[in-house]
Amino acid sequence: MATHVNDDSSSKQNRVRFGAFDFDLRRQELRRQGHLIRLPAAQLRLLNLFLERPGDLITREQISSHLWNDTGTIDVSSGINTSINRLRGNLSDPLNSAEYIETVIGLGYRFVAEVVPVSAPRAESHEAATPPPTTLDMAPPAPAALHEFAETSAAAQRRSFSHRQRLAVGSLLLLVVAGSVALWRRGRSRPSIVALSATRPSPLFHLRPVTSTAPGEAISAVAVSPDGRSVAFSNRAGVSVHTFGGGDILLPSRPFFQVSRISWFPDGTHLLLSGMDTQTHRHQVWGVRLGEGYLRFFADDADLATVSQDGSSVAYTRQNGMELWVAGAGNDGAHQLLADPRGSFPYLIWSSAGDHLLVDHRAASPGSDSYESIDARNGIVLARESHMVFSSGYLLQDGRLYFPLTESANPAAGQTQLMLVHTDPKTGKALDKPQMQQLFSGYGRALSASLDGKRIALALDYATVNVFVADLRRPGPTLENVRELPHKVEESYPHAWTSDSRAVLSESSALGVWAIFKQPLDAAESQLVAKLPTGAAMAQISPDGRWILFLQFAKSNTPPIGFFRVPVTGGVVSQVPVSTQLEDFVCSVSANGSCVVRETIGNTELVYSALDPLTGVGRELARTPWHPIVLGDWGLSPDGSTLSITDHDVVHPSIHLVSLAGRRAEGPSELPLRGHGTLWGSNWAADGRSLFVECRTKDGFELVNLDLGGKAVVLRKSSVTLWGIPSRDGKKLTFPDRTSSNNVWASDTMQ
């Protein structure tokens, strides 16, 4: 059985790189940025199998035969699921983007990251050295809220923002890296190329949001100051300068002037603003000095102005981008450098010496776009690279050119690759092909950096999940007056209402780990309720309305490690005594109800017991045969008498109603729900007469109201997981759904 990409021990290719990882095939050691990640034997065998066949579909049967010889002693389906999910966890592979392991529903898996062989080290080269750790690392993994179930259930294969399977996708607004391998280059014979940072690795940037725009607003331009201490950006309000560690100042503006590019002068005291007057449709460039209350006119019929690194020259375009011009810092000596009557120059970058320009040249003929280096004195083309374009970017003094490459303009599906190409600092000639250095979620634009390249910023169209609220109208029922609760850009998921039905309890990644927040419907800001070092989630209100109960998680793909309470009025967080390994809990949405905890007994039974906020687990209430479960996939009736249990049966989807100990069963024991895909979970309506059922369809997700007579009404559809939590007064419903934002993101610290 082959377990290595290359079994020839004499081969120089004993190591491979994929994404942010380095794998030693001979030693069977996986490292990330120099840090050893210890994998058990089963995960090592699985990783070797994927690395042998990158990009190929690997069936579950092939995985089974590769991992185990004797399948009669284990649950193969469960074992494969566990191995896949644990390997994904060690690779920090978010389910919503599948940067490494992609699930092919019903068939198997595919390793989607590029696998690059690494040559053995030579005495004169550092190429094979393990990249050193960097301070600009990704955020620590947030807690997961899941109990994996067999992937024969479609519920185990969701690839949207799968909150209930993987509660934290790593604080998504933390934009996890997929291609952060350090790029090392050996010097070549020509002196100008030896200067290309032969031993300098590419940086690893950890981005955080700088702005918090309202829905529908957009960032049109971004520029980091030369010293990296500030970033200027433009939106509907005008141009603002944000100082890292400080606040924002709004610069003076012209009415109806829409800014398309911002460029700093090297002293960091004034900027050039390029854009268009939306009334006259004239392109203009204006200057502004920080601290002054007015703009200075620079040039008419001009756009995309950029200042040279020494501040002596300005390059810009004219005639709708068809002409390339160069002038002095005061627009003195302006002259045309180059023209293409049928094409355009949509982006310009000065070389560090100021003697040539790197130009994105879009030609009229399809497929003729190119990267060009233009002599800034006479317009001679010094170098050209076909089919290499950049809509924005920055150039470092050693010739490294970084630019964003986007896969899709749709922020929900798009990803942005941070690309690197080495150029000759003297001529601008591209010395190699562009290589991806890092992967950001979302659609990135307007990339810029400080002069030393240690701080970057860009505008990022980014889709996330937030809390929505709607009025619940009957008969029907229907959802009316749907609105999104205020948020920044972090993921947020609702799980309960306060007793007065005036606020929603949710967890959010706003603090870097998952924490519990309360969001009043009439307030603009959410209030922190509880935060634990490793993360808190799945908040519920006790039936008496006195306590907020929640779970603690240590890391991805593990059960909860603690059960906690905090007074509704605020105060000290206390741990609820639980002696057994709990899986999940629910509380009724009524003062007359109760709380119930669920435990798993091997793969044989599910045990349901009473739960008290002060004393912990009480007497046993019911047992059911074991079946695949997901955190939060069951509900408790308002009076605490009946459980609604989702079995995730893809053939006969239904909700099982289980009467608890000492309660007399009334009504049906099973509620079938056909035609809505696989059932993922259910919550009771406040009046106890219906259920809000989460369904996974072939097109996405549906939230269905299912009454006890079997009548089903679709309330909402979404591309992300969708469940409904009713308020205690029965008048409102809260649910998660996708939301999009366009903001400035910047690296949070400088190298």
Statement: residue 7 has pLDDT above 70? no
Statement: residue 196 has pLDDT above 50? no
Statement: residue 1 has pLDDT above 50? no
**What pLDDT is attached to residue 202?**
60
**What pLDDT is attached to residue 176?**
27
- Hey, where are the domains in the chain? 15-118+131-137, 193-200+221-462, 463-740
Tokens (6 digits) for 430: 């591209």
| Residue closest to 549 by CA, chosen among 578, 526, 525, 521 | 578
Torsion-angle region of residue 535: left (phi > 0), alpha (psi -120 to 50) or beta? left
pLDDT single digits (tens) 297-320: 999 999 999 999 999 999 999 999
Share of the chain above pLDDT 70, in %: 80
**Of 150-154, 290-294, 329-333, 566-570, which range is least confident?**
150-154
Statement: residue 232 has pLDDT above 60? yes
The fold adopted by the segment(s) 15-118+131-137 is: Arc Repressor Mutant, subunit A (1.10.10)
The residue that leads in pLDDT, 438 or 402, is: 402
**Beta strand 642-646 with 634-636: parallel, antiparallel or unpaired?**
antiparallel
Statement: residue 47 has pLDDT above 80? yes
Tokens (6 digits) for 203: 């940086």
Pick the CATH number of 193-200+221-462 from 3.30.470.10, 3.40.50.150, 2.30.31.70, 2.130.10.10: 2.130.10.10
The residue that leads in pLDDT, 76 or 92, is: 92
Statement: residue 494 has pLDDT above 80? yes
**Of 256-265, 337-346, 535-544, 575-584, which range is least confident?**
575-584
**What pLDDT is attached to residue 602?**
76
For residues 453 and 200, the answer to whether their CB atoms sit within 8 Å is no
Statement: residue 19 has pLDDT above 50? yes
The residue that leads in pLDDT, 509 or 572, is: 572
Helices 60-67, 41-52: axis angle to 10 degrees equals 130
3-state secondary structure 534-550: CCEEEEEECCCCCEEEE
- Tell me which architecture the domain covering 463-740 has in CATH: 6 Propeller (2.120)
**What pLDDT is attached to residue 295?**
93
pLDDT single digits (tens) 235-278: 988 999 999 988 899 999 888 899 999 999 999 999 999 999 99
Statement: residue 10 has pLDDT above 70? no
160-171 mean pLDDT:
34
Compute the Cα dihedral for 615, 619, 621, 623 and give only its sign: positive
d(CA 417, CA 406): 6
Confidence of residue 715 (pLDDT cuts 50, 70, 90): very high
469-479 mean pLDDT:
93
Statement: residue 353 has pLDDT above 90? yes
Q: Which phi and psi angles does 619 have, rounded to 5°?
A: -70, 155
Per-residue b or e along 177-197, where b marks 16 or more CB atoms closer than 10 Å to that residue's CB: bbbbbbbbbeeeeeeebeebb
Statement: residue 492 has pLDDT above 50? yes
703-729 mean pLDDT:
94
The residue that leads in pLDDT, 413 or 72, is: 413
545-560 mean pLDDT:
84
**What pLDDT is attached to residue 34?**
67
- Between the alpha carbon of residue 376 and those of residues 31, 313, 333, 350, 629, the distances in Å are 45, 10, 13, 9, 66
How many beta carbons lie within 10 A of that of residue 102, not counting itself?
17
How many beta carbons lie within 10 A of that of residue 15, not counting itself?
23
Confidence of residue 662 (pLDDT cuts 50, 70, 90): low
The residue that leads in pLDDT, 515 or 208, is: 515
Share of the chain above pLDDT 90, in %: 51
**What pLDDT is attached to residue 163?**
42
Confidence of residue 368 (pLDDT cuts 50, 70, 90): confident
**Of 375-384, 580-589, 664-673, which range is least confident?**
664-673
**What pLDDT is attached to residue 148?**
27
Q: What is the mean pLDDT of the chain?
A: 81
**What pLDDT is attached to residue 489?**
55
**What pLDDT is attached to residue 126?**
30
The residue that leads in pLDDT, 310 or 183, is: 310
**What pLDDT is attached to residue 79?**
66
Please confirm whether the linkage preceding 121 is cis (ω < 30° from 0).
no
290-298 mean pLDDT:
91
**What pLDDT is attached to residue 597?**
94
